[in-house]
């Protein structure tokens, strides 16, 4: 399969009007109607707009505005629009229906500012009526769904709980599936950040010619890994310690691998995982840490990155692992188009405990192999800076944008 970013490099950006230099910039609104920080989905919104803002050519072509419910003061960006005050966000977080209220406030403000011919890049949150209102104003809608669509999402969850040996706590929701379809129009565009996302939206009925393949990335402006070597190899899992992310299976594999090293688990552990995996979590060579914004230090002390997820879009921590020069042990869902089996690491099925354990042992026991894969990961990361990804993403979207 052709690497999506390579394919996008050959796609010229189509100028609007008779002269690209004379044309007014296309107004692009990125929409995430919840409180915003530099991590997770909100981080994608910020990094995309930052990349446009840093590139003079893109600033001439595109005028970006990022709409969120609230942004912390340290996120001082001229393009960032918070629609609610801090005290309202705090109050809403404590009240039933508060999150929905924040969404409605944000979407109402956006509706007051958009004009015919504008483009909205939409992240999870807006409802079908929200989107219908934007279409009625003559706005082009581009969905960046971040994860796979229903019902593929539910299929992955069933597999994850079966592999963990845990009772399924999430049920397939016909209403959610219907809502997923209702939010999409035949004229909308969907960004697929991985093959799993692309396949799930094609299965939902989105025409393949309305799907744009585009990865996420990392920013060397905000991520600075600080390398600290240890006497024994350190393996890093970063993300919510959930069944979906494959932590129960990883803990089994770690126990079976018998690695002379340590496993660092960074992030909150779901209560159901903590209860079910209590015995495995007591292993002396596993260290559990709360999430920190100082990811450069955490990734800098690791030798291998591990993420055997059952369902993902394209996890942002995977790009950080490449940037830190870490070999990866990932599932196909986590690796996507980014990490290649045998090059930047090993791609293994998330419910194959023995294959995960074997990959962990190989990387623990073979420093030369770790070194080769580390060099490949660092070289690969050059293709995934947010500056490059944003150029490629806008080039790929060009055929669908107003001219």
Same domain, 81 and 184: yes
Is the pLDDT at 176 greater than 60? The verdict is yes
- Same domain (yes/no): 127, 10: yes
pLDDT for residue 344 is more than 90? yes
- Res. 51: pLDDT tops 50: yes
Which stretch of DSSP H or E encloses residue 304? strand 304-307
Which has the higher per-residue pLDDT, 152 or 36? 152
Pairing of strands 286-289, 262-266: parallel
**For residue 32, which of 143, 114, 140 has the smallest C-alpha distance?**
143
Instruction: Check whether residue 191 and residue 210 sit in a common domain.
Output: yes
Sign of the torsion angle spanned by Cα atoms 116, 122, 126, 127: positive
> Considering the chain, what is the average pLDDT of its residues?
91
Shared-domain flag, residues 112 and 139: yes
Which pLDDT does position 38 carry in this prediction? 74
Q: Which residue has better confidence, 334 or 85? A: 334
Closest CA to 338 of 355, 315, 309: 315
Instruction: Quote the number of domains for the chain.
Output: 2
Over residues 73-98, mean pLDDT: 84
274 Rama sector, left if φ>0, alpha if ψ -120 to 50, beta otherwise: alpha
Nearest Cα to 77, choosing from 88, 64, 90, 89? 64
DSSP-derived letter for residue 23 is: S
Paired with 31 in beta bridges are 67, 122
Is 228 within the bounds of a domain? no
- For residue 226, tell me if it sits in a domain: no
pLDDT, one tens digit per residue, over 102-122 is: 889 999 999 999 999 999 999
- Residues belonging to the chain: 403
37 and 180 housed in the same domain: yes
Q: List the Cα angle 139/143/144 in 5-degree steps.
A: 140
On whether residue 227 sits in a domain, the answer given is: no
What confidence tier does 22 reach under pLDDT thresholds 50, 70, 90?
Answer: low
Say yes or no: 133 and 55 in one domain.
Answer: yes
225 belongs to a structural domain: no
Residue 37 has pLDDT above 90, yes or no: no
* Helix, strand, or coil (residue 201): helix
**62: closest CA among 389, 388, 397, 382?**
397
Residue 75, pLDDT score = 78
* DSSP for 337-383, written as a single string: TTS-BTTTEEE--TT-HHHHHHHHHHHHH-HHHHHHHHHHHHHHHGG
380 & 391 share domain: no
Report residue 62 CA to chain centroid gap. 23
Per-residue pLDDT for 149 more than 60? yes
Measured over the CA atoms of residue 332, residue 333, residue 334 and residue 337, the dihedral's sign is positive
Torsion sign, CA atoms 132, 134, 137, 141: negative
Per-residue burial over 133-149, b if 16 or more Cβ lie within 10 Å, else e, is: bbeeeebbbbbbbbbbb
Instruction: Evaluate whether residue 369 is within a structural domain.
Output: yes
Tell me whether residue 182 is in a domain: yes
Return the residue matching tokens 């495995």. Answer: 280
Asked whether residue 168 is domain-assigned, the answer is: yes
Average pLDDT over every residue of 42-46: 91
Domain hosting 253: range is 234-384
pLDDT over 80 (residue 403)? no
Greatest CA span in the chain, whole angstroms? 67
Read off the pLDDT of residues 62-79 as tens digits, 9 standing for 90 and up: 999 999 988 877 778 999
CA distance 192 to 208: 10
29 and 15 in a common domain? yes
The residue to which tokens 């706005």 are assigned? 139
Dihedral angle sign, alpha carbons of residues 335, 340, 345, 351: positive
31, part of any domain: yes
* DSSP one-letter code for 264: E
pTM: 0.91
Cis peptide, bond prior to residue 151, ω within 30 of zero = yes
CATH number at residue 285: 3.40.50.2000
Percentage of residues in the chain having pLDDT higher than 90 = 76
Please tell me whether residues 198 and 292 are part of one structural domain: no
Q: Please give the pLDDT value at position 263.
A: 98
- Is residue 296 located within the same domain as residue 354? yes
Handedness of CA 35, 39, 42, 43 (dihedral sign): positive
pLDDT in tens, 188-219: 999 999 999 999 999 999 999 999 999 999 99
Write down the H helix ranges in 165-291: 174-182, 195-203, 247-257, 271-276, 278-281
Contact criterion met (CB below 8 Å) for 353 and 249? yes
Looking at the structure, do residues 255 and 374 belong to the same domain, yes or no?
yes
Q: Are residues 375 and 389 in the same domain?
A: no
């Amino acid at each position: 399969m052709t690497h999506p970013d390579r394919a996008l490099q050959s796609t010229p950006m189509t100028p609007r009007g008779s002269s690209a230099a004379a044309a007014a910039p296309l107004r692009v609104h990125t929409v995430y109607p919840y409180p915003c920080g530099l991590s997770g989905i909100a981080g994608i919104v910020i990094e995309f707009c930052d990349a446009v803002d840093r590139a003079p050519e893109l600033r001439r072509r595109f005028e970006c505005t990022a709409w969120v419910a609230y942004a912390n003061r340290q996120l001082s960006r001229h393009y960032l629009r918070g629609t609610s005050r801090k005290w309202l966000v705090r109050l809403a977080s404590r009240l039933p229906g508060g999150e929905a209220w924040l969404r409605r406030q944000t979407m109402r403000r956006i509706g007051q500012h958009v004009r015919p011919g504008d483009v909205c890049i939409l992240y999870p949150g807006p409802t079908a009526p929200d989107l219908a209102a934007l279409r009625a104003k003559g706005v082009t809608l581009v969905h960046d769904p971040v994860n796979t669509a229903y019902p593929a999402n539910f299929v992955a969850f069933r597999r994850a709980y079966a592999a963990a040996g845990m009772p399924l706590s999430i049920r397939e929701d016909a209403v959610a599936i219907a809502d997923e379809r209702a939010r999409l129009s035949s004229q909308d565009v969907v960004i697929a950040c991985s093959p799993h996302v692309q396949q799930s939206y094609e299965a939902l009925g989105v025409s393949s010619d309305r799907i744009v393949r585009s990865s996420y990335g990392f920013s060397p402006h905000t991520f600075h890994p600080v390398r600290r070597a240890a006497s024994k190899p350190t393996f890093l899992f970063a993300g919510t310690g959930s069944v979906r992310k494959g932590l129960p299976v990883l803990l089994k594999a770690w126990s079976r691998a018998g690695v002379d090293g340590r496993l660092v688990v960074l992030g909150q552990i779901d209560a159901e995982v903590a209860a079910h995996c209590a015995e495995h979590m007591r292993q002396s060579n596993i260290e559990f840490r709360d999430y920190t914004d100082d990811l450069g230090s955490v990734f800098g002390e690791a030798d291998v990155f591990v993420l055997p997820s059952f369902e993902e879009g394209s996890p942002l921590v995977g790009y950080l692992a490449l940037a830190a020069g870490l070999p990866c042990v990932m599932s196909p869902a986590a690796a996507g188009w980014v990490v290649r089996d045998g090059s930047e690491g090993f791609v293994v099925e998330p419910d194959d405990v023995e294959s995960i354990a074997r990959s962990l042992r190989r990387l623990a026991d073979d420093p030369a192999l770790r070194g080769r894969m580390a060099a490949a990961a660092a070289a690969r990361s050059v293709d995934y800076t947010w500056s490059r990804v944003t150029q490629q993403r806008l080039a790929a979207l060009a055929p669908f944008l107003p001219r």
